[in-house]
Amino acid sequence: MGADQQVMSQSPRVRFAPSPTGALHIGGARTALYNWLVARGSQGKLVLRIDDTDRERSTPENVAQILDALRWLELDWDEGPLSQAERAERHRARITELLDSGKAYPDTATAEEVRAFKRAHGNAGYRGEPRTGEGAAVRLRVPDEGETVVHDLIRGPVKFENRLTDDLVIARGDGTPLYNFAVAVDDAEMKITDVIRGDDHLSNTPKQLLVLGALGFEPPRYAHLPLLHGPDGKKLSKRHGAASVQELREAGYLPAAIRNYLALLGWGAEDDTTILPTSELVDRFSIDRVGRASAIFDERKLRWLNGRFMRDMPLEEYVDAAAAHLEREGHPEAAADPDRLRAACAIAQEKAQTLCELWPLVRFLFEPPVDDPKAWSKVMRDGAGPNLEAALGPLRSVEPFDAPNLERELGVLVERLGVKARDVYQPLRVAITGTTVSPGIFDSLAALGRDRAVERVEAALERLRAGADRP
């Protein structure tokens, strides 16, 4: 491959070709993102192809999950979704072409016969002769000598000895094509210029190159991405936390933050910038800066990055994202009250790192205080009652009832009582929310409003007077 083939073309045609056997895994999402960035950064085209030849495991439900995940991540495509299974006639036509040219042959060899051949030939690749009969598979002839070289844009040249490669089965006995044959034909006929996919496909690539060569097609350029591992160095799985895009969405992450984080798993900007809006990723991304080492997916780092994105969002966008998440998570009362939700988002934006963290922080604005016995027993003792009683005065009289005035008047109260600030503010927090964790106490009181704040403090005092340990 010449030097001019080692770099991405100005207008590449790339493809994302998931097999719909489950939800879109995080590794698959990164592959989709890298293809999308290459296409969008070079005025290229992204083809979405569903490699659904595994008819037992490929289901419409899984296809729908993949499309839903890509749309939520805001990764659009230019062509597709195209079904590989629906191209069966094209695959059969190419198999016939190879049979007619003598580059492929029917073979009834059993698995035991193949093993016996290998034992007799020093574990060399299986070589058969045309044998027709019931259940005859179709095999592609592989050269006895030389190498098949994968010119990988990330790894460099990777060589495979032809003598160790079996004559490839390209169609089963019932005539259905095998995966590597269908993929090679589809990539060629769809004029794919650059195949960007996971490292687990590297062993498939020489087989696909042999098919392309037999059919007379120029191969695309290949880039095999290092696989994702968890912080423990093992292949990424559910034990490391979220394993699919849907799980990340349910955990309250933002699409823009996920795109930013996934882009950095194996690739880095020249100046090691960490916070990159998608427009900047499009401008700066290049395959030649993807490393060879396995990348580590650490959900704690994603959570930190997501928090940065959430704090930097314009409030109206934050409210829209919160409304969609809360509606999906079964809190329609919050999404149905836009003014109160806006106030809730305004006071929690600096504190929540994911959308899932938002509801526990602002629930008190939409529901009565939660029952947290630990919070009550920890805070509502010693001088909590008298301090709450004293706080009722400023709460009833401060005007206007907003955070700056509440901070000033309650600060005066703390000085007058000669106590620490937490001796007043923590009982107030437990009284209005039921917990010891909330947005800032002055913001929380202001968002709750005078009437409800006073009502909740009075209810807490009544409980203290009754000596109850539970409401």
Catalytic residue numbers? 238
Q: What are phi and psi of 48, to 5 degrees?
A: -100, 115
Q: What is the DSSP letter of 353?
A: S
237 with 18: CB under 8 angstroms? no
CA-nearest of 464, 470, 415, 410 to 440 is 410
- Classify strands 137-140 and 147-152 as parallel, antiparallel or unpaired: unpaired
CA 415/CA 396 separation, integer angstroms: 19
Chain centroid to Cα 386, Å, comes to 51
Q: Are 463 and 471 in contact (CB under 8 A)?
A: yes
SS (H, E, C) 339-401: HHHHHHHHHHCCCCCCHHHHHHHHHHHCCCCCCCHHHHHHHCCCCHHHHHHHHHHHHHHCCCC
Q: Is 314 exposed, middle or buried (0-12, 13-18, 19+ CB in 10 A)?
A: exposed
CA dihedral 234, 235, 238, 241 (to 10 degrees): 60
Locate 96 and state its tokens. 């016939």
Contact 322, 343 (CB under 8 A): no
- 139, with CB counted inside 10 A (0-12, 13-18, 19+), is buried
Local structure of 333: helix, strand or coil: helix
Is the bond into 219 cis (omega within 30 degrees of 0)?
no
